[in-house]
Structure 1
Amino acid sequence: MDDITSAAAEPDRLRLLRVLGPSHVWALGVGIVLVGEYMGWNFSVGKGGMIAGLMACWVAGLLYTCVAMIDSEVTSTVAAAGGQYAQAKHIVGPLMAFNVGLFLVMAYTMLEAANAITVGFLLDTVAGMQGQAGLNQQPFIVLAIMFLAWLNYRGVLATLTFNLVITAVAFLAIVALFVSVQFGASAVPLDFSAITTDPLPYGWVGIVASLHFGLWYYLGIEGTCQAAEEVRSPARSLPYGMMAGIMTLLVAATMTWYICSGLMPWEYLGQAGTPLFDAARVTGSTGLMILLFVGTAFATLASANGCINDASRAWFSMSRDRYLPSWFGAVHPVYRTPYRAIVFLVPIALIFALGAPLDQVVTFSILSGLLGYTFMTFNMVMFRNKWPLGKIKRGYVHPFHPLPTIVLLILCSTAYFAVFLGYGTQLSAMMCFYIIASLWFHFRRYKFVRRGDQFTMPWPKPQGY
């Protein structure tokens, strides 16, 4: 892995293919996130009750709408693999870029592990319904991650086309369940009496605490930025795909809360492993149970598939710029994928999927994501100050600046407090991990970075330079 060998320069002669359109961007963003409607979000109900869960859904939706608006402007201008990492290296500086890249890799790798855990849990649940309790989940976890890594290895177009199909099926399954329940297909009627009898079982602090897992409804939508170097028209595809994605998720999240909260007691819902599938079981309809089983399986696979794509692009981009050993920055000569980055991250995902509890893995992913969103607030302000409107060409200009940035920073600060209420030790451990990683980069790795080579955008000098 010597950074000065001639082999290290080999990957630079190969480029990722520009083959994606807006629908693929939508499939990447929604595909990663839609699993949040099928599992994980319901822990917010357990933290504060039904009303708290709904408020967390909408407040988190506002947070991610701000994320989508900010990312749409910056990424349509900085159209390079690595997404927020590429933004940081152009706008802020090397140390911030290294940390942002690490946030992305860890957020997506942990989300991939959580998806694999859910696949195993879902199959175990179905086996238990057939009288075969105690299914060994580990082979299915390994098989899911290995298959999706192979698919990513073989090419991005096939990978995201696959995501487009299974994401659409998973979304339509939620719509079908919602419509069916509304038209009386459920053997159990919708019951929201808990809203009036016990609206806030843990008081107002429960609302704050519920925001922690409310983020799971939308976590990963920012991953659309990772495809910036592989879309045919970044200025059009990235804003359209991302904004369409956040609107899709807002609708799906609200329908999910409505169905599950109406069919199941909040005490059970707050700790369920597969809430939408459980809601389908409550209806007593075999057809809906099969449909939601397929939807849950497809949502988890689509999310894990997109996570492998995004984590590998972030790792690849950092390696290409020598923030990490450049050996990982290789592009496959036939499939034109960052194959070494894909393969390297597989065992990391497997370690967490096989050895960590679901809520811990989810929290690790959420915290890494939150750190990335906090960076966006400073990044957006610096971007507008250094290159004001009219100085460089932007593919999209988000309105109301700086209001979305201020709102995002306030909501991120609230979310940190929400995580601290339940997972303070893990929050402290993660901050220590990123501090140690920053020190390693500063003292051991920075000397390999070629600052001049990493600036790929044809921009004028910043304002006040």
Structure 2
Amino acid sequence: MKKLVPGEKVSLLRILGPSHVWALGVGIVLVGNYMGWNYSVGKGGALAALLACWMAGLLYSCVAIIDAEVTSSIAAAGGQYSQAKHIVGPAMAFNSGLYLVFSYTMLEAANAMTLGQLLKTAGILAGYQDCSAEPFVALTILSLAWLNYRGVYLTLAFNLVLTAFSFLAIVVLFIVARPWSDEILKHDQFLTELPYGWLGVVAAMHFGLWYYLGIEGTCQAAEEVRSPARALPLGTLIGILTLLLAATMTWYVCVGLMPWQYLAASTAPLFDAARLMNSNILVALMFVGTVFAVVASANGCINDASRVCFAMGRDRYISEWLGAVHPRYRTPNRAIVALVPVALAFSYFARLDEVITFSILSGLLSYTYMGFSIVMFRRQWPLGSIDRGYVSPLHPLPAVLLLILCAVAYFSVFLGYGVELTLVIAFYTVATLWFHFRRYKYVRRGQQFSMPWPKPIGF
């Protein structure tokens, strides 16, 4: 551990590489392969779930491409918050930061709730009939918060191991299922047409996002990687390719083993797929993979939410107290601790589907902003005016596709959760008004542009 020199400014350490960025992004998301995605099957059938998976994959590919360019250029903690601060202004920065904090914290709560239920079920099967999920939920959040408190390298090295194991477990299941033959997988029996037509495909988009939700979290490592221009684009783009591969394999195996009506109601589809293959080794492998995926996701969410909270506190968008760095561990310790009761409150007092929907909608609002931000970024700082670690190809096509797919996703969520959509929009509107009338006067307006760039065109 590096010792501090008296009078030295305490900052985050740059000690991460591309593998840690990959582990952060994929680790948050891979749990979506183990549970949750299959609800899209109930919305429109198995084929609709595949189309929704690829549509959502295209949406997040656009997110990854845009993130790779902007974040490798604006290598600061906070991700999209820091991008908005430089490209748009304080109001958009505040909203982007709030979207991210709630998106990751709600996802953390959902993971803790899921892990609690998994361990409760395991306890009951082991003979402990009075086993409860609540202690496991609290233990998960508190222990992972402690891990994040102690250091980012240890946190993401832990995530790397968990994520690699969970991904390899999916690959093993896919190979054992022998997709090159019809001996085990029965797609000819289970793969049906679209039972609810093309509207079912749109409705399935809601849970198709669950395959990829959180990959944009790679941006939160921007201030802690050794080489942002290399590590951030590499980790992010390899991450989205990993998720596309895992999602397609997951769909292919599960649809070939279960009727879509049963698959749509499954709590852990990959675990159920292993059970149907009559292999105790596979069942054990997928149970461990499920637990590891959930823990990795919750762990990454704490890392990401705390970095955004820290960056906003440092700039006084919220309480400056949250912008502190631990003098020994070099982590945003106060931001990590402050978000623990928020995650616990949602874990204990909200339903799982509501928490998931809140996280998805917060993410969608952030992606919508990104579609506009990359266009503004290119106009304000054209190619050649600043150093970029990565240049997104075919601009502005990724931005246009992202905005179109976000509109489809909003409508998809509205079909099943219209009330929740209205409440989320109302909440962020009130928060924006609070920031404008009460908090904006405390913002360090003279420090908005922290990058050594020329003035933007039109400034």
TM-score range with shorter-chain normalisation?
A: over 0.9
How much has 1:360 moved relative to structure 2?
1.3
Residues 350/101 of structure 1: CA separation in 2 closer, same or farther (3 Å cut): same
- Tell whether the 8 Å contact from 1:124 to 1:134 is kept in structure 2 after alignment: no
Report the equivalent of 1:402: 396
Quote the residue 2:360 is aligned against: 366
What SS is found at the alignment partner of 1:182?
A: coil
Deviation at 1:192, TM superposition (A): 2.1
C-alpha displacement of 1:163 = 0.4
Q: Does 1:228 align with 2:222?
A: yes
2:142 matched to 1:146? Answer: yes
Which residue number in structure 2 is paired with residue 95 of structure 1? Answer: 91
From 114, 129, 148, give the equivalent of 1:118. 114
Deviations 1:182-217 (A, max 9, x none): 17999x932224555x42122211100000010000
Equivalent residues of 1:25, 1:237 under 8 A apart: yes
- Between Structure 1 and Structure 2, how many residues are aligned? 454
Distance 2:306 2:109 in 1: 14
Is residue 2:67 matched to residue 1:71? yes
CA offset at residue 222 of structure 1?
0.3
Give CA deviations for 1:118-167 in whole Å, capped at 9, x if unaligned: 11122233344445556311111111111100000000000000001111
Q: Distance in 2 between matches of 1:60 and 1:15?
A: 36
1:190 maps to which residue?
A: 185
Query: Structure 1, unaligned stretches of length 5 or more?
Result: 1-9
In structure 1, the partner of 2:3 is: none
Report if the CA contact (8 A) 1:118-1:273 is conserved.
Answer: no
Uncovered stretches (5+) of structure 2, i.e. residues with no partner:
1-5
In structure 2, do the counterparts of structure 1 residues 431 and 263 end up closer, same or farther at CA, with 3 Å as the change threshold? same
Structure 1: distance between partners of 2:47 and 2:180: 24
Query: CA–CA distance in 2 between the matches of 1:278 and 1:125?
Result: 14
**Amino acid in the other structure paired with 1:157:** Y
Measure, in 2, the Cα distance between the counterparts of 1:120 and 1:334.
Answer: 32
Task: Tell me: CA distance 1:132–1:185, structure 2 relative to 1, closer, same or farther (3 Å).
Answer: farther
Q: CA contact under 8 A between 1:385 and 1:463: conserved in structure 2?
A: yes
SS in 2 for 1:135: coil
Name the structure 1 match of 2:343: 349
C-alpha contact (below 8 Å) 1:387/1:462 kept by paired residues: yes
Q: Aligned equivalents of 2:267 and 2:181: distance in 1?
A: 23
Residues of 1 paired with 2:83 and 2:370: CA distance? 9
- What is the match of residue 154 of structure 2? 158
Scaled by the length of structure 1, what TM-score is found? Answer: 0.95
Contact 1:11 1:329 (C-alpha < 8 Å) held by counterparts: no
Letter in 1 for 2:109: A
Spell out, residue by residue over 1:253-300, the C-alpha distance to the aligned partner (whole angstroms, 9 max, x if none): 000011111112211211222111111112121100110111001000
Residue matched to 1:411: 405
Task: Report which stretch shifted further, 273-282 or 331-340.
Answer: 273-282
Among the aligned pairs, what percent are the same residue? 67
User: 1:289 corresponds to which residue?
Assistant: 283
Contact 2:178 2:184 (8 Å CA) reproduced: no
Structure 1 equivalent of residue 244 of structure 2:
250
Match of 1:434 in 2: 428
* Matches for 1:47-86 after TM superposition, within 5 Å: 47-86=43-82
Quote the Cα distance in structure 1 between the aligned partners of 2:118 and 2:245: 24
Q: Normalising by structure 2, report the TM-score.
A: 0.96
Change in CA separation of 1:453 and 1:214 when aligned onto 2, cut-off 3 Å: same
Q: Could you tell me whether the CA contact under 8 Å between 1:19 and 1:231 is conserved in 2?
A: yes
- 1:4 counterpart residue number: none
Q: Could you say which residue in structure 1 is the equivalent of 2:372?
A: 378
Asked if structure 2 preserves the Cα contact closer than 8 Å seen for 1:124 and 1:133, the reply is no
Aligned residue for 1:388, secondary structure, equals: coil
Q: How far apart are 1:310 and its partner, in Å?
A: 0.2
Aligned 8 A contact 1:330 1:339 in 2 = yes
SS in 1 for 2:177: helix
- Once structures 1 and 2 are overlaid, which stretch shifts more, 125-134 or 106-115? 125-134
Whole-angstrom CA distance in 2 between matches of 1:162 and 1:426? 35
In structure 1, the partner of 2:416 is 422
- The letter for the 1-side match of 2:367 is Y
Q: Does residue 462 of structure 1 match 2:423?
A: no
Contact 1:50 1:194 (C-alpha < 8 Å) held by counterparts: no
Contact kept? 2:190, 2:256, Cα under 8 Å: no
What one-letter code is carried by the residue in structure 2 that aligns with 1:142? A
Q: CA deviation at 1:403?
A: 0.4
Q: Given the superposition, is the C-alpha separation of residues 406 and 310 from structure 1 closer, same or farther in structure 2, using an over 3 Å criterion? A: same
| Deviation of 1:359 (Å) | 1.4
* Cα distance change of structure 1 residues 464 and 104 upon mapping to structure 2, 3 Å threshold: same
For 1:183 and 1:379, locate their aligned partners in 2 and report how far apart those are by CA, in whole Å. Answer: 42
8 Å CA contact retained: 2:190, 2:260:
no
Query: Could you say what the CA RMSD is over the residues aligned between the two structures, in angstroms?
Result: 1.8
| 1:208 and 1:414 in contact (8 A); partners too | yes
Distance 1:117 1:284 in 2: 28
Tell me the distance in 2 between the aligned counterparts of 1:388 and 1:125.
56
